[in-house]
Amino acid sequence: MSSIAITGASSGIGKAIAEVYARKGFDLILGARRTEKLDAVAQELKSLGAKSIHSLKLDVRSDESVLKWTEAAFKAFPKLDILVNNAGLVLGRDTVETGSIDDWMTILDTNVMGVLRLCRQFLPKFRENDHGHVVMIGSIAGHQVYEGGSVYCASKFGVKAIAETLRLELNGTQIRVSSIDPGMVETEFSEVRFKGDKEKAKAVYQGMTPLSAHDIAETIEFCTSRPAHVNIDDIRIMPTAQASATKVHRT
Ligand SMILES: NC(=O)c1ccc[n+]([C@@H]2O[C@H](COP(=O)([O-])OP(=O)(O)OC[C@H]3O[C@@H](n4cnc5c(N)ncnc54)[C@H](OP(=O)(O)O)[C@@H]3O)[C@@H](O)[C@H]2O)c1
């Protein structure tokens, strides 16, 4: 039986990943801060036929929470196959001159330190097993910058740097590292960015067809189901209507 650990599984891309792998018959360990939402996801997955689902509170900003979640994951599935570093967020669209330092700390601590905390705990175990696949959810924002996106872009450029470094550090092992880097995906992401302003969030996707969370989940499943000698380093995946971080065709 194969197993997968997914951070940020309470909504959006993380939830869609859980659904895709549940349908494939994987055992799952799901983590996020909102446990009611996480438990609701686990219930839904059970109705899809998933048998072994552990949904456990996880705050990727806390060393202790990451440690507990990792221990639970490997206790349940000692030969765990996949870690998806999906938990992440952006807050605001302010310039460097006007942004909030608290927001910046939250973005960097979640998106960069969160990934590092998870990798720090999972990799020694993957190395012991000489087996495992780390999947990062990067972004087009890790390749191109945009005004009002300095700190989010810095965080996703950071994730790209961590993935590339890991491939060097893990060379010679059977551990694989992939990064999936999407353009616009319609999830709770924009609502979180605009701090609950649903109108502003909706406007982001107006007049264009964004990617769905399911599109990203299927791409990840493709990467992790390649034969053991194949490592997909990165995939940049965009809506057809989006040509760059800043150029979007709208009707
Ligand atoms: N949507 C896009 O356009 C887009 C494009 C490129 C990349 N991405 C990336 O995709 C990933 C998933 O985002 P999404 O679009 O699916 O947005 P989303 O619907 O807002 O989901 C974000 C997930 O991250 C979790 N999370 C946030 N902070 C956390 C923390 N401290 N500890 C644990 N979990 C935490 C949230 O759960 P809780 O709030 O319950 O903790 C939620 O499950 C992020 O890394 C994002 O940067 C998104």
Quick check: 51 pLDDT over 90?
Answer: no
Quick check: 63 pLDDT over 90?
Answer: yes
Position in ligand 1 atom list of the atom nearest CA 87 = 24
- Rounded to the nearest integer, the mean pLDDT of the chain is 97
Quick check: 209 pLDDT over 90?
Answer: yes
61 CB within 6 A, ligand 1 = yes
180 CB within 6 A, ligand 1 = no
Taking the C-alpha atoms of residue 183 and residue 77, their distance in angstroms, rounded to an integer, is: 33
Q: Is 146 a catalytic residue?
A: no
55 CB within 6 A, ligand 1 = no
What is the pLDDT at residue 180?
98
Q: Is 21 a catalytic residue?
A: no
Position in ligand 1 atom list of the atom nearest CA 38 = 40
Of the residues 75, 156, 202, 247, which is catalytic? 156
Sign of CA dihedral 22, 7, 5, 219: positive
Task: Name the residue ranges covered by the structural domains of the chain.
Answer: 3-237
pLDDT of 67-118, one tens digit each?
Answer: 999 999 999 999 999 999 999 999 999 999 999 999 999 999 999 999 999 9
Quick check: 50 pLDDT over 90?
Answer: no
pLDDT of 163-205, one tens digit each?
Answer: 999 999 999 999 999 999 999 999 999 999 999 999 999 999 9
10 Å CB burial of residue 214 (0-12, 13-18, 19+) is middle
58 CB within 6 A, ligand 1 = yes
Q: Which helix (H) or strand (E) holds 161?
A: helix 150-169
pLDDT of 144-169, one tens digit each?
Answer: 999 999 999 999 999 999 999 999 99
CATH of 3-237, one of 3.30.360.10, 3.40.50.12500, 3.40.50.720, 3.40.50.2000: 3.40.50.720
